[in-house]
Amino acid sequence: MGKLIIANWKMNPLTAEEAVRVARGEDLPDVAIAAPFLHLATLGRVLRRASLAAQDISSSEARIGPMTGEVSGAMLASFGVRYVLVGHSERRRPPHGKGEDNLLIAAKVRAAVSADITPILCVGEPWNVRRKGFSAAKAYVTKQLIAGLAGYRARAGVRCLVAYEPVWAISTSAHHRTAAPEEAAVMGSCLLEKLEMLLGRRKSAVLYGGSVSASNAATFLALPEFSGLLVGGASLDSREFRRIVGSALPDTADL
Ligand code: PGA
């Protein structure tokens, strides 16, 4: 398998018709589309090569039950969902309210694994931490990693991926700055080392996310520390997204 490229559509697009149109343009091998819950059933019928991913999951391991507003891992699995984002910075710190803490995030990781869905645990430091320097940032993301995997029970055939997304490098962040690939790679290598200690070498993989575009994807994909990319804004434009995927497959003409 090549490098994995996840399209994080966030709260987009508005209609099912638009979702189908974008998904058709992104239906490629080694791609997973993280769509809003509402579009998952439709996309499950449309996608042939790309996998389906969810952007959230209930922290409960129950298949069904009295939990208003929740969607269980078993439900997601029954729609063919293979991956789920957990602990994205936009859920850790939503515009209103408290957001998700490490306890909740760890429970969601466990719930995903128990439903045979691969969690993509997102970690990344905000700018107020990064500006204190690399050591502070490293301590911050290592803590998120360890806390997110608390109580993790390995299950045959289910991996746990980690996405390193410096919050300040996310395209819509208030403190937006571009992360240099070399600086991302240093953190990627620290995370990979820690993950290998926790989960074993075979099960460990780290993805990179934060303002990935067609113009920088090849550089990030060339870094051995990263097994793939998490792409937000640029994944809403299927032409740009295909160019990103194309940079992972340099031999494939006319993607
Ligand atoms: P971005 O978002 O690619 O628009 O920076 C990435 C993400 O938040 O997952």
Q: How sure is the predictor about 249, in pLDDT bands with cuts at 50, 70 and 90?
A: low
- Residue 70's SS3 state is coil
Residue 82: φ, ψ to 5°: -105, -25
Residues in the ligand 1 pocket, defined by CB under 6 Å? 8, 165, 170-172, 209-212, 230-234
- Which ligand 1 atom sits nearest the alpha carbon of residue 230? 9
Task: Give me ligand 1 centre to Cα 173, in Å.
Answer: 9
Q: Is residue 165 flagged as an active site residue?
A: yes
Q: What is the pTM of this model?
A: 0.95
pLDDT in tens, 39-88: 999 999 999 999 999 999 999 999 999 999 999 999 999 999 999 999 99
- CA-nearest residue, atom 3 of ligand 1: 232
Report DSSP letters for 137-173, one per residue.
HHHHHHHHHHHHTTT---BTTB--EEEE--GGGSTT-
- Residue 157's SS3 state is coil
Lowest-confidence pick of 36-45, 58-67, 154-163, 226-235: 154-163
